[in-house]
Structure 1
Amino acid sequence: MNQAGSNFNQLLVLPSQRDRYQRILNAPVVLVEYGNYQCLQSGEVYRLIQAIQQDFDFVLSQKNRVCVVFRHFIQSSYPQAQKAAEVAEAAAAPGQFWQMHDLLFTHQQALEDGYLVEYADRLGLDIFQFLRDPSSQVHITRIEEDTESGNQSGVMAAPALFINGIRYRDRWNMEQLKAAITTASH
């Protein structure tokens, strides 16, 4: 197998403080998801990972067993995805990335500008700052870096998931993903 082919199963840009992550980066299991807020399958993976996190928290009684990293992966076939990603990044400045992340995935069918402003208002974000950030495109570089890091690891479409740096390629269901995470934690 050539070098490029082997890269498609490995995460080439490792998780760091730069990323948007929940819990601790040195957890036994680190999930890196490439997704976008308009892609319905990314939404399904989001809900699946949330359920698995809750299950691990309950069963293992250890909140820091699984770290989840979210990286944007924007594709032209999703016209609202770029703006939604910019809004999530604008919410990150005051420390509300994950709250906005949850709202965007919960309301995937409503990502037009008016709804995005409503979500910002719901989180108590400074609406004027919020409107200024996405329109000035201050977050586009970060989003492009996320997408490029996915490209380097062979991601062609969202969603894509890496467990401890190895591409997950099995079915997107609770049992198989949970088994892969359990195996990675040992």
Structure 2
Amino acid sequence: MLLKPSVSSQDHAIGKADANLVIVEYGDYQCPYCGAAYPVLKELMREFGDQIKFVFRNFPLSEIHPFARPAALVAEAAALQGKFWEMHDAIYENQSSLSTDFLFELADQLGLDPTQLQSDLKQDSVEERVDADFESGMRSGVNGTPSFFVNGQKFNGGAENLLDLIRSNAS
């Protein structure tokens, strides 16, 4: 399966902007498998962040993870204050504590403006961003989380497999 749409400047990306290796994760903030993949992906970025571009797209499985969508919305609202990755990391690092109140505690800990956050959460654009990510996942053949794409192609494996693959290609 191919990634649809391709990575663009609209995506949340870290690493090397013009990297030859682009990894996209479709993730759910409450998914235990995404939570387990998170430290592996952090290791991947520590080792190869100067060589790869890593992109995160929201894929909240709301039926089974009631806090996945609220977490995605808060992360997108945090992005409007320039703190997407800080919120992304804070959510995954505290995944077992997820609740609506806790998301606002994290926002407070990250120094986000609470009035701005509340206002941004009411913006259609925040919800539309999460919906657009989810829809792109559906169009790309994502049927569970985490799902990875490497240079636009679906990667059939988990974060550990991805790290092993990149390590073997780097050596």
Task: Decide: shared fold, TM above 0.5.
Answer: yes
Matched, 1:180 2:153: no
Partner of 1:170: 157
| Distance in 1 of aligned mates of 2:71 and 2:167 | 32
* Contact 1:163 1:184 survives alignment (8 Å): no
Matched, 1:51 2:37: no
Partner of 2:32: 40
Post-superposition offset of 1:172: 4.1
Residue type at the aligned position of 1:71: R
Deviations 1:5-43 (A, max 9, x none): xxxx22121111000010234202111000011001111
SS at 1:14's partner residue? coil
| Aligned residue runs from structure 1 range 135-174, under 5 A | 135-173=122-160
Matched, 1:94 2:86: no
Uncovered stretches (5+) of structure 1, i.e. residues with no partner: 1-8, 57-62
Post-superposition offset of 1:184: 6.7
SS at 2:76's partner residue? helix
* Contact 1:161 1:168 survives alignment (8 Å): yes
Uncovered stretches (5+) of structure 2, i.e. residues with no partner: none
* Contact 2:91 2:98 survives alignment (8 Å): yes
Deviations 1:129-163 (A, max 9, x none): 11232245541100000011111110011110001
Post-superposition offset of 1:52: 1.6
Residue type at the aligned position of 2:20: P
**Structure with bigger gyration radius:** 1
Q: TM-score, normalised by structure 1?
A: 0.84
Structure 1 residue aligned with 2:119, among 132, 137, 140?
132
* Contact 2:29 2:60 survives alignment (8 Å): no
Figure out how many residues of one structure are paired with residues of the other and give that number. Answer: 170
SS at 2:130's partner residue? helix
74 and 45 in structure 1: CA distance in 2 versus 1, 3 angstrom threshold: same
Partner of 1:71: 57
| Aligned residue runs from structure 1 range 107-118, under 5 A | 107-118=94-105
